[in-house]
Structure 1
Amino acid sequence: MGGKVPEHQATFPITGAQLHEIFSGTSQERCDEVASIINKYSDKFEINTPLRMAHFLGQIGTETVGLKKLQESTCYSSKDRIKEVFGKIKYCDLFEGYESDLTECDSDETPKSCNPALKKITSDLVVKDKYVCSSNLFDYTYSCRMGNGPASTKDGSTFLGKGFIHLTGKGQYQTITTLWNSDSENANNKMEFDGRDIDLLTTNLDVAMKASMYFWQKKKLNDFADNGIENIDIDKLGGKVNGVIYPSLPNGYDSRRSITKGAFNILK
């Protein structure tokens, strides 16, 4: 494809024009900027073949809604949608008539059970107003797991999905901090993504991209990408990003498949 190749000449460079063809709803300016940053780091993290690049774009494109949103939205305005996505017995406090101690976790890394106990998700359950379009939803449903404390700590909304691959959970932020700081390349540029530097994951495209590539490398996702471009290959890799184990499908699996295959057809 045509288009200006960004300044850094990677082994497998991509152009803003290619990204704009893949993400037609994203501005050319954004595509040019993202392409330049990808090319800056793609060799370091060995995202250097059409197959690997297509998988990478399929994942970050889905997570960021076309490279545009570097933070997960906290606003679920529909009670039905909240129930559909988060309606599980362990999240009993979501529903009217059920109350949980939000300052504690159960021993099995779930929030405290409710009084009365919720034993089944039924059609008559109604989501509480306090969880509608509110960070309370993530403080609760992301609590007691992924390195997060109970809902009262607000770790859930603090460490919700950020960056190009939407890093999620305090534990993951700490892992990326360790990976970043243990790289000699960053000796004069230390980060605390679980503290003072968290906002850089949403305000600095360069930092957000590099942090996402540390995640990619840590999860050995190039190995999964090398397996191919079939749905099962994309779903397994997407599961590693989204935190589910195949045969369960990751959120947005249809988008991950579509973008990855479309990108591969353009890049190959």
Structure 2
Amino acid sequence: MNTNQDGLIDANELWRYLHNNQPHIQYQVQRLVVKHHSEWLKDGMTTLWQTALNEQAGSYPELALYNNEYINKLVWMKDVQEIRSSEALWHMHPVVFLDSLGERNGNRIPCSFCQSGIEIKPELLIHCFGISSEKADLYAPLLTNSFIKYDINNCLRISHFLGQIGVETQMFTKFREGFYYTDGDRLWRIYYTQLNLGLSRRFPSYTESQRKQYTKDHLVRNEDELAKTLFPSDYEGMNYRGRGLIHLTHESTYNSYKEYSGNEVISNPKMLEEDPVIAVDSACWFWSKFANINPLADTDNLSEVTYKVNTAKLNITTRGEIKNLTFNYIKQNNTGCIK
């Protein structure tokens, strides 16, 4: 805005950008807190106005007279003892200020691109995932609150997030990673490294061929035993398989979330799949705090975003399709966004 590079934004520069034909620029200018002399403080006889009124009187005397009377009717600040009439004052737009509060209180997410309010309605979740209205009514406000908390706060971030969790949860139907395999050879190929590590802890004397045979004999069609082998826990009957909307995996990740949130997911990892609040909060924490995915989403980099969530990039096409479905829905139902 400081077009003459003098280190100050003068009235002409402010006016120019306030009347810019790009809504997102107008939106930002309207939200500036600006220090200047107020028309509510000085009457038409003061130096502040006289130069402009005298110039106007030369060509439009009636207009100058009208403006002088108009200015005098607006003066009230000089009667307020707390206001020093000789100083400029800080100004903000009161209606815009109240509108901004209303956006937050109305469960609208202020977009980091343009500050237009993005609303996560149940209809959006039904549109993207085909879930029941009851489930959509439950998760829409939880997502809104967590999106605000973790700065998942523009159309690209929200769209990529929903695209990823749509695949991870199989359209909001699975909040726990499944480990039911019927083919031992395939299971061994997929989890070769983790099975060798897990079975070495359990059976230190086993050779690799014995570990492979154990996998085929005991871990096929045995989901719980396989999960305990791959993601062991010191707590009876527990394991640290992928859980929640984004499938937190491994004890170290569970522990990081516990330290951040205070939620006791180490001794009771099932909280991530059974408590909707924690399922949502943990996913948004992973996205924003643990994996720092927001900057990648801002660049619309589907490949890198997916890698952060799923290193194998499984079903990346579907993730992109859901992302686009979400993005288009937001654009059609939330006006003013510049992206």
Q: Same fold (TM over 0.5)?
A: yes
* Cα distance change on mapping 1:89 and 1:51 into 2, 3 Å: closer
What aligned pairs does 1:88-127 form with structure 2 within 5 A after superposition? 88=192, 91=195, 101-103=200-202, 114-115=206-207
Counterpart residue type for residue 277 of structure 2? D
How many Å apart are 1:81 and its aligned residue?
Answer: 4.5
Q: Deviations over 1:163-215 (max 9, x none)?
A: 1111000000000011113xxxxxxxxx211114x222111111211121111
How many Å apart are 1:31 and its aligned residue?
Answer: 1.9
Q: Secondary structure at the match of 2:314?
A: coil
Q: What TM-score results when the alignment is normalised by the length of structure 2?
A: 0.56
Q: Is the 8 A contact 1:136 1:157 kept in 2?
A: no
Give the match for residue 270 of structure 2.
199
How many Å apart are 1:9 and its aligned residue?
Answer: 3.3
* Cα distance change on mapping 1:126 and 1:165 into 2, 3 Å: same
Q: Distance in 2 between matches of 1:126 and 1:76?
A: 14
Q: Secondary structure at the match of 2:148?
A: coil
Identify the match of residue 253 of structure 1 among 300, 305, 316. Answer: 316
Counterpart residue type for residue 175 of structure 1? S
How many Å apart are 1:69 and its aligned residue?
Answer: 1.4
Q: Is the 8 A contact 1:64 1:164 kept in 2?
A: yes
What aligned pairs does 1:188-267 form with structure 2 within 5 A after superposition? 191-196=263-268, 198-218=269-289, 219-228=291-300, 233-242=301-310, 244=311, 249-267=312-330
How many Å apart are 1:102 and its aligned residue?
Answer: 3.9
Please say which structure displays the higher CA radius of gyration: 2
Q: Distance in 1 between matches of 2:193 and 2:149?
A: 44
How high is the sequence identity, in percent, across the aligned residues? 26
* Cα distance change on mapping 1:93 and 1:160 into 2, 3 Å: closer
Number of equivalenced pairs: 217
Unaligned runs of 5+ residues in structure 1 are: 1-5, 95-99, 105-111, 143-147, 182-190
Does the alignment pair 1:51 with 2:156? yes
Give the match for residue 139 of structure 1.
228
Q: Deviations over 1:238-266 (max 9, x none)?
A: 11112x2xxxx422323222211222122
* Cα distance change on mapping 1:158 and 1:223 into 2, 3 Å: same
Q: CA RMSD in A?
A: 3.1
Counterpart residue type for residue 216 of structure 2? K
* Cα distance change on mapping 1:130 and 1:164 into 2, 3 Å: same
Q: Distance in 1 between matches of 2:126 and 2:189?
A: 33
Q: Distance in 1 between matches of 2:193 and 2:260?
A: 36
Counterpart residue type for residue 103 of structure 1? R
Q: What TM-score results when the alignment is normalised by the length of structure 1?
A: 0.70
